[in-house]
């Protein structure tokens, strides 16, 4: 059985996707970009500010589904420029102070709304 997760504390889905879907004890969070849900706009600043907002959005979805960052088993980071990888890693790591989940990171040619970063997440109970 699937459960669809939606929270006003993360950006609304703007196309044919859900913020997250839970199935068989696993939570699949759609790629999050650095939109501030209170304004509906991309956060100002560089890669650190954008990464921080993406992680906040992921945290809000995890919380709405009854999960936490401790339940995250895999993330995929999409970056507009791999030169941003060290800064992303520095901010990202603050959400995983112990054992970090498995992760892949890729440079892509373009991200939604001109974002510098998008992260999708899988969590498991």
Query: What's residue 46's pLDDT?
Result: 96
CA dihedral 72, 27, 124, 36 (to 10 degrees): 20
Q: What are the chain's domains?
A: 2-124 (3.30.1330.40)
pLDDT band at 3 (very low <50, low <70, confident <90, very high): very high
Give the integer Cα–Cα distance in Å for 12 and 107. 25
pLDDT band at 98 (very low <50, low <70, confident <90, very high): confident
If 0-12 CB within 10 Å is exposed, 13-18 middle and 19+ buried, where does residue 33 land?
buried
pTM of the model: 0.96
Query: What's residue 1's pLDDT?
Result: 87
Give the integer Cα–Cα distance in Å for 91 and 17. 27
Measuring CA to CA, which residue among 122, 125, 124 is closest to residue 31? 122
Give the integer Cα–Cα distance in Å for 105 and 98. 20
């Amino acid at each position: 059985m699937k459960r669809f997760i939606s929270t006003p504390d993360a950006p609304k889905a703007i196309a044919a996707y859900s913020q997250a879907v839970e199935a068989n004890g696993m939570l699949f969070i759609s790629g999050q970009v650095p939109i501030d849900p209170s304004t509906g706009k991309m956060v100002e600043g560089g890669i650190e500010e954008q990464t921080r907002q993406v992680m906040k959005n992921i945290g809000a979805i995890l919380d709405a589904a009854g999960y936490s960052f401790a339940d995250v088993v895999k993330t995929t980071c999409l970056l507009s420029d791999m030169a941003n990888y060290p800064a992303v890693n520095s901010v990202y790591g603050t959400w995983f102070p112990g054992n970090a989940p498995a992760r892949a990171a890729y440079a892509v040619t373009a991200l939604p709304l001109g974002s510098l970063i998008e992260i999708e997440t899988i969590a498991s109970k």
